Structure 1
Amino acid sequence: MDLAIQNFTKSKKVAIVGASRSGNKFGNSAAKELQERGYEVFYVHPEVAEIDGKTSYPNLEAVKDQVESVWVSVPAERGEAVLREAAAAGLTKVWLQQGGSSPELVQLGKELGLELVAGKCILMYAEPVRSFHKFHQVIWKVVGQY
């Protein structure tokens, strides 16, 4: 397993960027799953004060002293702003969920000095891995993709 993945999954206080106010996005379901796996999540959304019954912070600067890492589930075209915001807040452990990454964002992450995980599903790595993610994890280990 990649060192950046190991370091990220060891950090148990995670800012969640990409959950919706309606609660119907993958970001919301992933955040709930991370909580069930022992992570403390802190929602970041510039337009709402609460998501899924928890306080939502307007930006990463507002939550930087409470978190150790940032998990991002937004389209790649919004990723640059999030990476720059994380770097400015001094948050260096960043995970760009699959579907929200690009080669340009990976390069930017390097330039900003971020310990970046890109293009992978956090639910495959945040222990304990369950259900179909566990099955995928075994397959990926067999084929050398884990």
Structure 2
Amino acid sequence: MYRDNAHRMRKLFEQVLDSYDLQQAALDDALKELSTASTEMTSTDGRVTATVNAAGVTTAIELADNAFRGATPDELSRSILEAVHSAVHTAKQRTDQIIAPLTSAELTPDLDDVLPDAAEIRELRESIVDRFDRALRLPEPDDRPNTK
């Protein structure tokens, strides 16, 4: 009986370690991809193109040659906000796609599967993902700052 339990525990621990190695490799790949990811979006009027990184931080804003022709400062301001907002939204979707495989609860046995009173890593992972989502949540169009 003791040997059976020890053998099962050893097998489960080996599965956890193997899964950890796979997750670490996947995390390294995701971090590489996120570190070089950028998203570029152009306003619907074509006056402004905004580029953001994977975290949604604006890294460049380009104005078309005709950006100032026939546009009021208010219109140009709205075009900038539109381009940036679209780029951030698209970058967030792409970031979610990149990290989705890392947040799957089925990837590994949880710590409490091995040690019954241990904390659940799944809950911690979900909490981190939830915080990340809330930090990057974009305001709804009606909540955006007024440029007037």
TM-score (norm 2): 0.22
TM-score (norm 1): 0.22
* Structure of higher CA gyration radius: 2
